[in-house]
């Protein structure tokens, strides 16, 4: 379908005076939020070159429903004579093109898209709501839940840094707040802190960053975070109503009934094990085997160093009285020292390659 429109940066000044572009920017943001949080499918590259503004009076692109309807009309159109066809085409060309009264947007180039799973949509929704409400601690908590922290990850320091980053946006004016830039900064802090986030987060940040540029080109005073906050509240209300539906309440009641029915038997098993002194607890530490191996290596090196030091001291004490035996002791100590150093170097290089 051919799009008759202008790029967002090419809209004439007179058109900006005649029309209010705030509703269009708000509608575009809401469409993206719906795709991200509800549909799980969104256009990941909405840069200004992929968004066209169709002004009133311009032949707007047809929607998919209109295209299908027109195709069906062409398929079911009865056969006519050549003269009747010429007459119908003349009448159709004489009719004026229907003009639109509102500004519309057209998205093109769907080469870069992203899909979100149901669980990821839930987490992203909570993350966007926390960003919209400037709740830095909740933003950090959601990112930790979504990502994979390294062994040396500092949760407290990371939460403090994310909270400070989100709080800095409170000092900015409405025109300076950029949701996409904020999300990119959050991802950068996560990477430097040792938190690996899903690849979908980068596409989401890219989409919101480009969306900021488009909405600012449409209306410089528009603030996407306000729309994100309002849209998040609407989603929360809709999900609360869904969770409080009669079917959901009945399901919760049935699950609670099953739990209460099984509870006495489970409590009886626990008390019997307590009475028989047969109740134990298992603690599983994932990094414990590697830590034990590292401690064993350190202990072996310390022991070798002590033996080498003792041999050197003994050789030094024997040297004035028994020169040959003292010299042999020094030679043995030198060979052992060289062997220990070479063993350490080889093991360290093997560990780096592995």
Look at 71-75, 160-164, 187-191, 261-265 and tell me which has the smallest mean pLDDT. Answer: 71-75
Q: How confident is the model at residue 65 (pLDDT cuts 50, 70, 90)?
A: low
Q: What is the DSSP letter of 220?
A: T
- Give me the torsion for CA of 198, 148, 124, 162, rounded to 10°: -110
CA–CA distance, 269 with 90 (Å, rounded to integer): 89
* pLDDT attached to residue 296: 79
Mean pLDDT for the stretch of residues 2-12: 79
What is the full DSSP assignment across 241-300? Answer: HHHTSHHHHHHHHHHHHHHHHHHHHHHHHHHHHHHTT--------TTHHHHHHHHHHHHH
CA–CA distance, 79 with 101 (Å, rounded to integer): 36
* pLDDT attached to residue 46: 83
Mean pLDDT for the stretch of residues 29-35: 88
* pLDDT attached to residue 353: 67
Asked if pLDDT for residue 159 goes beyond 80, the answer is yes
Look at 66-75, 219-228, 267-276 and tell me which has the smallest mean pLDDT. Answer: 66-75
Asked if pLDDT for residue 38 goes beyond 80, the answer is yes
CA–CA distance, 165 with 119 (Å, rounded to integer): 26
Half-sphere exposure of 161 (CA within 13 A, CB side): 16
Higher pLDDT, 150 or 74: 150
* pLDDT attached to residue 212: 86
* pLDDT attached to residue 75: 47
Residues 165, 134: contact at Cβ < 8 Å? no
* pLDDT attached to residue 60: 52
Mean pLDDT for the stretch of residues 77-98: 56
Sign of the CA dihedral 63, 64, 67, 73?
Answer: negative
Tokens 């809209």 belong to residue: 11
* pLDDT attached to residue 181: 85
Q: How confident is the model at residue 320 (pLDDT cuts 50, 70, 90)?
A: confident
Asked if pLDDT for residue 294 goes beyond 70, the answer is yes
Residues 61, 19: contact at Cβ < 8 Å? no
CA–CA distance, 128 with 94 (Å, rounded to integer): 51
- Reported as a single tens digit per residue, the pLDDT across 333-343 is 788 778 877 77
* pLDDT attached to residue 74: 47
Asked if pLDDT for residue 264 goes beyond 60, the answer is yes
Chain mean pLDDT for the chain: 78
Query: How many residues in the chain?
Result: 354
CA–CA distance, 325 with 73 (Å, rounded to integer): 110
The H or E element that residue 64 is part of is helix 64-76
> Which range is most confident: 167-176, 199-208, 279-288?
199-208
The H or E element that residue 337 is part of is helix 323-353
CA–CA distance, 14 with 35 (Å, rounded to integer): 33
Q: How confident is the model at residue 90 (pLDDT cuts 50, 70, 90)?
A: low
Mean pLDDT for the stretch of residues 103-111: 81
Domain boundaries, the chain: 6-107, 116-243, 245-279, 290-353
Residues 146, 201: contact at Cβ < 8 Å? yes
Residue 90 region, left (φ>0) first, then alpha (ψ -120 to 50), else beta? Answer: alpha
* pLDDT attached to residue 158: 92
- Give me the torsion for CA of 260, 266, 267, 268, rounded to 10°: 120
* pLDDT attached to residue 316: 78
């Amino acid at each position: 379908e051919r799009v008759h429109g202008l790029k967002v940066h090419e809209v004439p000044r007179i058109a900006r005076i005649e029309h209010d572009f705030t509703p269009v920017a708000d509608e575009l943001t809401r469409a993206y939020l719906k795709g991200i949080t509800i549909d799980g499918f969104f256009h990941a590259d909405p840069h200004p070159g992929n968004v066209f503004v169709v002004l009133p009076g311009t032949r707007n692109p047809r929607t998919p429903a209109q295209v299908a309807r027109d195709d069906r009309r062409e398929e079911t159109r009865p056969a006519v004579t050549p003269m009747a066809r010429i007459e119908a085409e003349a009448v159709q060309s004489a009719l004026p093109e229907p003009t639109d009264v509102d500004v519309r947007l057209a998205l093109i180039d769907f080469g870069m898209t992203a899909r979100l799973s149901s669980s990821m949509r839930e987490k992203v929704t909570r993350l966007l709501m926390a960003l919209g409400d400037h709740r830095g601690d909740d933003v950090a908590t959601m990112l930790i839940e979504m990502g994979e922290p390294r062994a040396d990850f500092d949760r407290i320091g990371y939460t403090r840094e994310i909270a400070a980053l989100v709080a800095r946006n409170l000092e900015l004016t409405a025109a300076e707040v950029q949701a996409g830039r904020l999300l990119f900064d959050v991802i950068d802090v996560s990477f430097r802190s040792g938190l690996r986030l899903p690849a979908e987060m980068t596409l989401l940040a890219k989409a919101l960053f480009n969306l900021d540029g488009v909405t600012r080109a449409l209306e410089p005073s528009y603030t996407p975070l306000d729309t994100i906050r309002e849209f998040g509240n609407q989603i929360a209300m809709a999900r609360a109503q869904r969770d409080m539906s009669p079917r959901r309440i009945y399901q919760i009641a049935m699950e609670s009934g099953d739990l209460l029915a099984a509870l006495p038997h489970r409590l009886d098993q626990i008390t019997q094990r307590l009475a028989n002194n047969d109740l134990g607890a298992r603690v599983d530490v994932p990094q414990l085997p590697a830590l034990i191996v590292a401690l064993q290596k350190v202990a072996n090196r310390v022991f070798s160093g002590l033996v080498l030091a003792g041999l050197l001291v003994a050789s030094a004490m024997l040297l004035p009285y028994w020169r040959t035996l003292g010299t042999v002791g020094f030679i043995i100590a030198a060979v052992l020292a060289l062997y220990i150093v070479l063993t350490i170097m080889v093991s360290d290089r093997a560990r780096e390659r592995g």
